[in-house]
Amino acid sequence: MAAPIPSLASRGTQGVSLVEGPPALRDNRAFKRDGSRTCKVMAFSPDGSLFAWCNGQQVTVVRLPGGEVVLQTEEHPRVVGILFSPLSTYMATWEVIVGKGPPYPNLHLWDLKTGQKAKSFVHKRQTDWEPQWTDDEVLCAHAVNEIHLFENGDFSHIARKLDVQKVAGYKLSPGPPPHKIAVYVPGQKGGPSFVRVFKCPDFATPLANKSFFKADKADIRWNKKGTGLLVLCATEVDQTGQSYYGEQNLHYIGVDGVSSIVQLSKKGPIYSTDWNPDSTEFCVVYGFMPAKATIFNLKCEPVFDFGTGPRNLCSYNPQGNNILSVYDDSCVKFAISLTLLLLALAGFGNLRGNIEVWDRRKLQKIALVQAPDTTYFAWSPDGVHFVTATTSPRLRVGNGYKMWHYTGHQLDEKALGMNEELWEVAWQSYQPGVFPATQLSYQPARAAAQTQEAKPAVYRPPGARALGHTSPTKLHEEELPQNERMENKDENLSKAALKNKKKREAKKAKQQQQAPMDARSQEQRDALAMATHILGTPPPSVTSTAVSADSEKKIKGLKKKLRQIEQLKEQQKSGKPLESNQLEKIKGEAALLKELEQLELGS
């Protein structure tokens, strides 16, 4: 049986529409485009069989691929949030409460078999409105300061309560039974915050418990099998003043009670974390720019270091082991997939972005492509293709999306008009195993790079154009991936060559020890290098700077001694008897004056 062709949904000023692809994008003839310019939300069901949207007048749910209407209601035209249950049995909708009267139910659970409401709640916050289901839909959880659990689709009464007060976040585990739930409770009155993991329905004793003192908020991320989770803790303010994002730490907690902090090799924010779908490793992007990307195993040991680059997000594709990440000078996306074992580095923002696609297993570059002005990236459900998009409000011009193959070829493109905006694109989702494994196809990276536009020439001011070509000075030195770093292979050298090499290294180390220390910061050295490049004048040498500083220090000391001598002479005039050592100081005044004169002339 042939694999299905996934659909791609788009929402913008042209309304909501569906296209089929890859490789080529073509309109889904079974779906009638909604041309309303007020569509606030759209969503696919987890198995891809249903598609829902709200156009400001009604909520509509259709069945794919035929397009038959499953549910259509005008009862709640202001819906801004839609979520399907894992087996597509229920749909949750959320709308903003308006008016000054008493709050009314604004979170509704719809039974899609009957088209009727199964349950309604009052939930004011938009940040955590989504109810959570286990994969088999046996449990449904809703947070109201404590966790309420409903069982087997019976919403008439609360089956169980997880009585942990002041819960600020929770996550039901994916995967088969036994089901687990992790809860986060922030610290009270100087006490520690904590994350606890319970097995449902035994809430008396936690399976695991982890306390944190530096945690104003925490993000819980389960692996796909529900055997472990990552907790990203962050404070609102970084007391060291090194980051705008607050101080962050990453912890691993296993359901067997084992926990560990993830030791990161570079200081700075933690931009993103994501689990490999096989639940055996996770990827982290962290550190001040250029950020590092590293894969860790379940012991929190680094498996592979991708070096540094402009990165800020990581995401595994549905099949697993393909890593994709896009980068430019502003921001980044990083993703991974299992079937094709690919790695790509990518970056999004208002600058031109590159996408490097790598073989994850062999860690070899497959393709190098360019996706200018990208603000959104997502893998296709087949794990072979991906989409990049320019969306509003991040960028209000040049909106549209492009379809790519992992080898770096652009397959198709949809560009919007000058006055049109694209707000969102989303792939149709599928259950695991729908798409067969694909054999990895290699293409030289340079072949994909040849299709890119030529880089613009570096601007040189008129006064510096006569200096000829000079190598640009980098503000930051980037690290290569660990398998590309130069390693010393002394075993391949002859005895004479090895001896000469050691002599050169010893001589270089001696010169570095004898050279005066440069107290200037890296930013100051970069500024001096730029001034030299533009003006053609050498920066002040480190030696002269060090000598000048030493002379100033001596002059300051001599003047201090002369002031003390003046005070002693005043005391002597007033008739106060002086000690012998004080008289010796007065006798040495002439020598001090001569030394001071020589130093001032020399400086």
Residues 250, 321 share a domain: no
Residues 257, 191 share a domain: yes
Residues 304, 243 share a domain: no
Question: What pLDDT shows up at residue 535?
Answer: 54
More confident residue, 71 or 440: 71
For residue 325, what is the enclosing H or E element?
Answer: strand 322-327
Domain-located, residue 73:
no
Domain end (from 402, 427, 456): 456
Confidence at 321, pLDDT banded by 50, 70, 90: very low
Domain-located, residue 233:
yes
Give the percent of the chain with pLDDT over 70: 77
Bridge partners, residue 570, by sequence: none
Average pLDDT over residues 165-172: 89
Average pLDDT taken over every residue of the chain:
81
Residues 383, 278 share a domain: yes
Domain-located, residue 117:
no
Per-residue pLDDT of 413-427, as tens digits, reads 999 988 899 999 999
Residues 214, 315 share a domain: no
> Which range has the top average pLDDT, 220-224, 350-354, 385-389?
220-224
Is pLDDT at 546 greater than 60 in this prediction? no
Residues 270, 221 share a domain: no
Question: What pLDDT shows up at residue 136?
Answer: 94
- Burial readout 87-122 (b: 16 or more C-beta within 10 A, e: otherwise): ebbbbbbbbeeeeeeeeeebbbbbbbeeeebbbebe
Residues 229, 300 share a domain: no
Q: What whole-number distance in Å separates Cα of residue 19 and Cα of residue 16?
A: 10
Domain end (from 213, 236, 261): 261
- Choice among 249-263, 502-516, 580-594 with the minimum mean pLDDT: 502-516
Average pLDDT over residues 168-191: 90
Is pLDDT at 489 greater than 80 in this prediction? no
Question: What pLDDT shows up at residue 603?
Answer: 57
Q: By the 8 A CB rule, do 291 and 268 touch?
A: yes
Domain-located, residue 59:
no
Domain-located, residue 479:
no
Query: Could you tell me how far CA 390 lies from the centroid of its own chain?
Result: 19
Question: What pLDDT shows up at residue 59?
Answer: 96
More confident residue, 416 or 486: 416
Q: By the 8 A CB rule, do 57 and 18 touch?
A: no
Question: What pLDDT shows up at residue 477?
Answer: 64
Confidence at 236, pLDDT banded by 50, 70, 90: confident
Place of tokens 């992007």: 285
Q: What whole-number distance in Å separates Cα of residue 42 and Cα of residue 56?
A: 12
Average pLDDT over residues 47-65: 95
Number of domains present in the structure of the chain: 3
Question: What pLDDT shows up at residue 339?
Answer: 47
Note down the domain range covering 568.
551-602
% helix, strand, coil for the chain, step of 5 = 15, 35, 50
Average pLDDT over residues 471-481: 65
Question: What pLDDT shows up at residue 328?
Answer: 43
> Measuring CA to CA, which residue among 289, 270, 364 is closest to residue 327?
289
Q: Which amino acid is at 30?
A: A
Average pLDDT over residues 291-311: 87
Question: What pLDDT shows up at residue 432?
Answer: 83
Is pLDDT at 70 greater than 90 in this prediction? yes
Residues 196, 162 share a domain: yes
More confident residue, 195 or 457: 195
Confidence at 26, pLDDT banded by 50, 70, 90: very high
Confidence at 138, pLDDT banded by 50, 70, 90: very high
Question: What pLDDT shows up at residue 352?
Answer: 56
> Measuring CA to CA, which residue among 139, 135, 133, 255 is closest to residue 200?
139
Residues 340, 365 share a domain: yes
Question: What pLDDT shows up at residue 334?
Answer: 42
Question: What pLDDT shows up at residue 447?
Answer: 38
Q: Which residue blocks in 397-494 are alpha helix, DSSP H?
A: 445-449
Average pLDDT over residues 472-494: 62
Per-residue pLDDT of 556-596, as tens digits, reads 888 888 888 888 888 888 888 888 888 888 888 888 888 88
Domain-located, residue 519:
no
Confidence at 408, pLDDT banded by 50, 70, 90: confident
At 96 the three-state DSSP class reads coil
Domain-located, residue 385:
yes
Q: What whole-number distance in Å separates Cα of residue 407 and Cα of residue 405?
A: 5
Residues 403, 270 share a domain: yes
Confidence at 355, pLDDT banded by 50, 70, 90: confident
Take residue 299 and report the two structure tokens written for it.
């012991």
For residue 334, what is the enclosing H or E element?
Answer: strand 332-337
Average pLDDT over residues 456-467: 65
Question: What pLDDT shows up at residue 495?
Answer: 67
Domain-located, residue 115:
no
Is pLDDT at 455 greater than 60 in this prediction? no
pTM strictly above 0.85: no
Average pLDDT over residues 250-271: 92
Average pLDDT over residues 111-118: 94
Residues 294, 158 share a domain: no
Question: What pLDDT shows up at residue 451?
Answer: 46
Average pLDDT over residues 500-512: 69
Is pLDDT at 270 greater than 60 in this prediction? yes
Domain end (from 456, 483, 515): 456
Per-residue pLDDT of 191-233, as tens digits, reads 888 999 999 888 888 999 998 887 888 999 999 999 999 999 9
Q: Counting beta carbons within 10 angstroms of the beta carbon of residue 383, is it exposed (0 to 12), middle (13 to 18) or buried (19 or more)?
A: buried
Residues 345, 297 share a domain: yes
Q: By the 8 A CB rule, do 148 and 158 touch?
A: yes
